[in-house]
Every structure is written in structure tokens, then in C-alpha cells.
Structure 1
């Protein structure tokens, strides 16, 4: 990537992804049952090699995948992202045995993963977890409590679960566990949401977890959660950019052919200026997302700020662009089944999950006021490591 454009190979790859999404993924998405995991769609993502590539791609390529799929098939984009969110902790922190058990099925699209962080009382304040992991006499744990707003629940095959292992320790007392869906005492309830994705609540009634189920180190699970979200935050912006581009493309086509007041809509100055504004904001958001992803890949010290800016700008931009597209299309865009009706429902949630817009502003402000190093240089440290000040997240598991 140069400062202003993608290299030809990546541009061609994006075009290929959009074509595959239209030919092989969109038909499966349209056959899926709303509110349920679309396993044929997930399996097709596996056959195309996209799920395996999730874990070997750099942050920029992850953004390109999500943006390209979102332009054509938001359901495929969401299924891809949820597999990544649920299984990235295994890829990054799992033992050899844990990886061997779960990742082949995730890559193939035959095993569905889920990321279980949020709770009824712990959304934006993700360190305030109440789900308890109590040690029993054998050195294993029992999980007791609730999780809420968990994407792919209650239909996932396994959950990456974050639980309180040390009381009154805040972020320092959380441990990550791998919990198969068939564990005794684990039950789930689906939630009916604005956009019909598989999202549910989980109840843990003394669910047994062994020492081998611990992901990473005990009491260090909050870092597992935050590093996973830092990895995916710029790509949430890419998902938003993809939806904005789809809405913009639809608007360009509609305003070129729709006749009103003696000519096409595009000849009306008010319409042309609105479309220009939509294009301007979409391109600005895209460039910020790409820059944040490139900074992550380079290990730059200001990644938390860049990622927060990218996620904030892109999701707010997508909301604006999709809303403007609906306005320019008129009543037809509100009809069930229209592309823009679909995007209008899809575009709202990204402003909340993986760090609400208000949380992103708080992260940006903290980074701006963080003391600089010598001669105005940023503070030292690896940008990919957990940064406690950026820990507050939104309802992070929603797609």
C-alpha cells in the first residue's frame, strides 16, 4: 500500500472477492434462516479458503476482505468476522492441543466459534465482569453467571469465555476459557434483534472447566480480550466502508436513471451535491481505515488512537451514507427486501459493538493527552500489546 492507493495485486484480489461473494456466497445467504447461524454459508467460506486466511492475513488484508465482502454480501462478511473474533484468541494464545482441537474445524467452516465477553452489566465497561470462575478441590473451575449479546449464541460449537477468577481485581483478575457448547450447565437463549443475526444470551450454572480449558494465563484473560478487539477494530471500520460503498454505488445508479423534473435526478444540484458528500466521506473513512491497519501491521505506537479514529469515523460515515441513500431513493428503499432496507438495518449496530462511538472518543482523548516521550516522540512500547487505558469496549460480541 502506498500513501494513497492499493497495489495492483490487492486491487485485483478485492475485485475477485466481490465476484465470489456475488456468485457463491450471496445465494447461500439468501437461503439462510434469519436469526440462526447459516452453516452452509460458513462452510462455503471455508471451502474458499477465506476462514484460514483470516488468521494468516495482516490487518490490512483483513480489512480488504471485510470491505469487499460487505459490498456484496453482508451476511458472508459477518460470518467471516465472527469466526475470526471467536477463534483468534485460540490462534494467538492457545496451546498446541487447543489449536489442534478447534482451529481445523474453524478453518474448514465446520466448527462455529463465538466470543463471549459482554454481560448484562458489563458492556462498555468490560472489566466489570461478574461471571465467576470458582476453583473446586481438583484444581478445575466452575463457571457461574451470565453472558449477553453474544453473536452465534446459542448455536456456536464452542465459546471463548471471559470470567472473573480473582475478586475485586478489575482487569487483572479475568481469565479466558475455552468452553464447548455441550458442557453440562451451559444453556442459551436467542435474542430477536433489529438485524436478524444469531445473537443470544448464555447462562452458566456451575459449568465445569478444566485446567486444560484455560486460554493463556490465569488472571491475564483481559489482555486476551483486548488484544483480540484491537486486532479487529480497524476491520469493523472496513465493514462499515463496504456498506457505505454499496449504498453509494446503488445511489449513483438510481440517480442516473430516475427521471424527475424533466431529467435524471443527478442533474439536480441538491442531489449531485449530496452524492458528492457521500463519496467524500466514504473515501475519507476508507483511507483512515487503511492507515490504521497499516499502522497495526508496522507495530506503530499510536495504534490505539488510529484504530479508534478509524472505527469511529467509518461507522458514523456509513450511517450517514446509508441514510442519505435511503432519502435519495425514496419510499422504494424502505420496502422489505430492498438492498438499502437491508443496509439500513445492518449499519446501526457497528456504532455500538467492539467499542461504542462514545468509547472511541474517550480512547482518542486519552491517547491525545498521553505524555509524549523525548522531543515529542510517542511513548515507547509495542502497539500490539494490551494497553489498559483502552480497555473500555462496547457490546463487543455483536456482528
Structure 2
């Protein structure tokens, strides 16, 4: 006995359990069709999930006894087959964002498309009639990215098919008739087209802005590299100039030291020469004093006169001795004053030029 399409429930896609037949002639699991119709209880309309035929009021489900017996045999055979070779299980680890409205059970399949005509979402298996049944091919299908409930009017439970340009929101046709009667309205497709133009314009602005900012960033990076290069060159040049100034000052310091040492040597040599001269004169004066002291005690008048006259005309006489040249006090104040003035001039020069150095080659925002 081969598996027949009539033995598979169009909702759960499994062998029929407690098969029932609805007025259009299609068979379903009793629990599957009841679950589908229970979800549509508030609408008051019930339809066949396969052929979409509507019924009102809710049909009474009739048990298909013949099909139930066949299903019992098939289930026994399927159980034996599964025990011999269990098929790969479908993973239900994660709950899909949008569930299929026709998958019954606690873990429905993930819906891939939503029908805006049927107002239902379908997994690939339950979507198949929309590609095979002629009347269903005309329905509007969209990707099941969000639940259909978010596309329904919360007040009238109708599809949001109208775009109110005045309030800039999607509304249903009943809202358009009553609450938005005097507003400017278009279809959601026309509203999307208008918004799409604005989106494209915004994209172009963003692209232009992005290119401008990208160019500015590139220029900024290049400027930063150039700034670092100039900074390193400026530091090297400044170091060189300051080294030259320091070397020049060191040379001037050496010259000042040599000048002071030379003056010191000349003053010392002259002072020593004067010391010898003064010592010789002291020796002569001491000897003259002794001679005069001895002459003052002689009682020979003639000898006194002759000797005194001889001593008075002698070159050792004080009248004949040259006056000693006294060495003046030496001072190096002129040199130190000159160095002090040089220091003050350098300080003043540095102070006067510091603003010019700080203001040169500054960044615009400084």
C-alpha cells in the first residue's frame, strides 16, 4: 500500500489522526482543523486551508470511518518502518520569528511568506497551494519578516493598505473613510514609492557626506604625518642653533677667563718687581740710618762735617733715591660687569623673541 496524498493532513503534513471531512470534501486531522478554526473564531468566517472555500456558520465535523481504518493500518506500518530506519528529525531548537498559521502543535514551522489576501503566514509546505491553485496564484505574497498582526489595524482588524500622507502613517480603508476622511491619502505602494525617492536622496546625501569626510580624514592623516616630519626637522634645527649659541658663549667665557688670567699675571709680575725694589731701598735706608746714628755720636767736629757732607752727596742718600712706584689696587670689575651686561642682553633678547617663536607656524585652532 503506497502513501496517498489523501491520507496526509494538509495542516500538519502527517498521516491523518481522527480524520474528518469538511463540506468541501477535504480531509483533515480533527485536532488540526479545529485549531485552525479556533484561531479564526473572532472573524466569524471559516474556510478550508487547502481550497480556501468559506463556510458560515462553523460546519459540524463528520468522522471519515473508512479513512480512519486505512490510517490505522498506515500508522502501524509507519511505526515499524521508523523503528527499522528512523528518519532525520527536524530541528526545533529555536522558535521562528513568524510561525506558520497552518502548522498545528506546540512547535509550528517557520513561515517564509505571508499572504495579504488570506491574511495568513505559510511555511513552504503550506504555501504550495498558492503556486498550484489558479485562484490562489492571484493573491499578494510578501516575505514573512514580521507577524501579520503588525500589519493589521488594531481598531478594525483590517490590513493597513492606505498611507495617510497628512499623518505619515499606514491605515486601513475603514480608517481612511472615517478618521482620515479629509486627509491626503495614497496606497501603501504609492507611499512606499514616494518614501523610496526620499530614501534614495538621503542615501546620496549620506554618500556625498561620507566621501567628503573620508577625504578630510585622508587629508588629516597626511597633514599629521607632515606635521610630525616638520616638528622633527624643527627640533633638529633648534638644537643645532642652540648648540651654536652655547658654543659661542663658551668661547666668550674662555676669552674672558684668558683676559682675567693675563691681567692677573701682569699685575703679579709688576708687584713682585716693586717688592724687590722696595726691599733694596729698605736695605739702603737701614744702612744709612746706622751710619748717621754712628756719626751723631762722634766728638771730632772736623770728621763730623766732612763725613756728613760726604754722606749727603752719596747716591745712597734719601735725596738721591727715586720715589718707589706704588702698585695700584687691581680690580676685574670691568670684565665681570661686561659679562653681566652680556647675560642681561641675552635674557632680554630671548624674552623679546619668545612670542615670535611661539606664534610662528601655529595651527589655525590654537
Query: TM-score per shorter chain, which class?
Result: under 0.3
> How high is the TM-score relative to the length of structure 2?
0.18
- Structure with greater strand share of residues: 1
Which protein has greater RCO, CA pairs closer than 8 Å, 6+ apart? 1
> How high is the TM-score relative to the length of structure 1?
0.17
